[in-house]
Amino acid sequence: MKNIRNFCIIAHIDHGKSTLADRLLDATGSVTDREKQDQLLDSMDLERERGITIKSHAIQMDYVYEGEKYVLNLIDTPGHVDFSYEVSRSIAACEGALLVVDAAQSIQAQTISNLYLALENDLEIIPVLNKVDLPSAKPEEVIDDIVDLLGCDPEEVIPASAKTGIGIEEILKAIVERVPAPKGIADEPLQALIFDSVYNPFRGVETYFRVLNGEIKKGQQIKFMATGKSYFADEVGTLRLKQQPKEVVKTGDVGYLITGIKDAREVKVGDTITDSKNPTTNMIEGFEDVKPMVFAGIYPVDTEDYEELRSSMEKLQLNDASLVFQPESSAALGFGFRCGFLGMLHLEIIQERLEREFDMTVITTVPNVSYHAFTNKEPDTIILVNNPSDLPEPSTLNRVEEPYIKASIITKSDFVGSVMSLCIEKRGQITNQTYLTQDRVELSFDMPLAEIVFDFYDRLKTVSKGYASFDYAPIGMRASKLVKVDVLLNANVVDALSALLHQDNAYDIGKKMCEKLRQLIPRQQFDIPIQAAIGAKIIARETVKALRKDVTAKCYGGDISRKRKLLEKQKKGKKRMRAVGNVEIPQEAFMAVLKLND
């Protein structure tokens, strides 16, 4: 056990985590020349194209240092804010972390939030300054920033370039020397932490775990503590580039387990594995069910594809247990699903994967968040509102609470004004402002989650010319004055366009929605009124004018009453047509509501 080192790599998006992992694998001879490729641990096409890690990966390497053989377990972590719970579980499975900072971009918001996670778990931090070979690199300045942040000596920061291979040997040496060996008791009952799971269509769910105490043997009967279910360990082993089956995985090591589970919801990240005959009494701390933050409806373009969409979603859920969905129906779009996502990036990825892996073209409705409503009858009973149509009648409503987040934004000092005005426009309250260096500021805001769901991230990048980095953590529910704004087309409510908005913004957004829809809805033979309403009160109206035939063209001269008679007749026809006519909403209209500021 003294020769095992478990470590992870933490960094902001694009600071070179996956490339550094590639170089470490090369240096330890873990991959042959035939298997080499860029971003080796990123297995999905989508990850390679976008250059982001969506699913975390683990791999074992052998390294000989001063004549002794060491086993290094690298647990790769996703970098995006949406997947922070997975990052926290990966960190809990390690004793050390490589903190990678880009020499050109310096410290960003996510670097700091992941660093705090690592420090909470008492990890040994090894700072690495990556991309020192870039012409725009500022190594001296960034080393000073790292020293200020960590309180370490400048000599402890390892300059490296994952692209060219500078500093890789020093990093491996530091991992062996600085990261402590795992502390665990081999003869205690089995206690292992699940930090990830992958779905294999042939063998069921593969569970990745780290043994804290005891050992796990092939054929042993094991139990998952959060779900209380027992299974047989059909196969256990360690994770090389391909899986390596073993008879036993011992204390302190990282491995995989196959039990033939077919439902990914039974395997929860952060759960504890123990022996079912001789179970451990204490669960590993920090386990929680993943809570979706953003909700949106996903509907098939063709209603006949509903069953196909259901099976596609179920298969996706096997691979990504943080996706939750339930069936719902809408008058405008037919049958579909109400889905919960970890954030907007997660929503985009699921939509993209549905199109790529399952050939499903889908319509996504306006994303919103989950609210708590309280009525006057039972002021203590929480009514969960995931969809605007679930909101109780305004007359019976006591109050509505919405989720708030603590947002931390790091930007250059030149853009403080524009970032602040954007956050205040989004109903944010500034709580703190600290100058990290002379020209870099960290701003902290308390903001409603609903406001950052739409276009906040894009606009933040625009006002800061791409220099702001953003990270958030939920801080609970707060009461707000929220109203439900309905959109009526030809006096019929279109439920897919309803939204819960703050009272102060309701009028503006209602007006903008009407204007946007007027441009997108094709003209009919009759006038189409588009209205935005709060309850029974209409707050905005636009009209799509009718296409009409010139019925008086054949009358020239003569009595005015003849013309009037023809116009009256036309008017009656239009009125009857409007009563029976229904308006088709084009697909763009649903998406356009998201981009009201364009």
If you write DSSP's letter for every residue of 304-335 in order, what string do you get? Answer: GGHHHHHHHHHHHHHH-TT-EEEEEEETTTEE
- Residue 359 assigned ligand-binding role: no
Q: Is residue 262 a known part of a binding site?
A: no
DSSP 8-class letter at 390: G
18 is in an annotated binding site: yes
CA distance 57 to 71: 17
Find out whether 133 is annotated in a ligand binding site.
Answer: yes
Which helix H or strand E contains 273, and what residues bound it?
strand 272-275
| SS3 category, 259 | coil
Please give the Cα distance from 340 to 325 (Å, whole number): 6
- Flag whether 131 is marked binding: yes
E-assigned strand segments in 428-527: 429-437, 440-448, 469-480, 482-489, 492-493, 499-502
Residue 238, beta-bridge partner list: 244
Closest CA to 297 of 237, 387, 378: 387
Q: How far apart are CA 186 and CA 70, in angstroms?
A: 19
Q: Is the Cβ–Cβ distance between 42 and 18 less than 8 Å?
A: yes
What span, in angstroms and rounded, lies between the C-alpha atoms of 552 and 450? 53
Closest CA to 469 of 423, 427, 417, 408: 408
The verdict on whether residue 508 carries a ligand-binding annotation is no
180 SS3 class = coil
CB-CB contact of 194 with 166 (8 Å) = no
Specify the amino acid at residue 423: C
- CA–CA distance, 566 with 562 (Å, rounded to integer): 7
Report whether 223 belongs to an annotated binding site. no
Q: Are strands 499-502 and 482-489 parallel, antiparallel or unpaired?
A: antiparallel
Q: Where are the alpha helices (DSSP H) in 53-167?
A: 84-92, 109-120, 139-150
Is residue 565 annotated as involved in ligand binding? no
Q: Consult the annotation and say whether 200 binds a ligand.
A: no
Do 210 and 183 meet the contact criterion of CB atoms below 8 Å apart?
A: no
**Are the C-beta atoms of residues 194 and 207 closer than 8 Å to each other?**
yes
The one-letter code for the residue type at 56 is S
Cβ-contact 56, 27 below 8 angstroms: no
Please give the backbone phi and psi of residue 392, each rounded to the nearest 5 degrees, phi first: -65, 165
130 marked ligand binding residue: yes
Binding residues: 14-19, 130-133
Binding residues for GTP: 14-19, 130-133
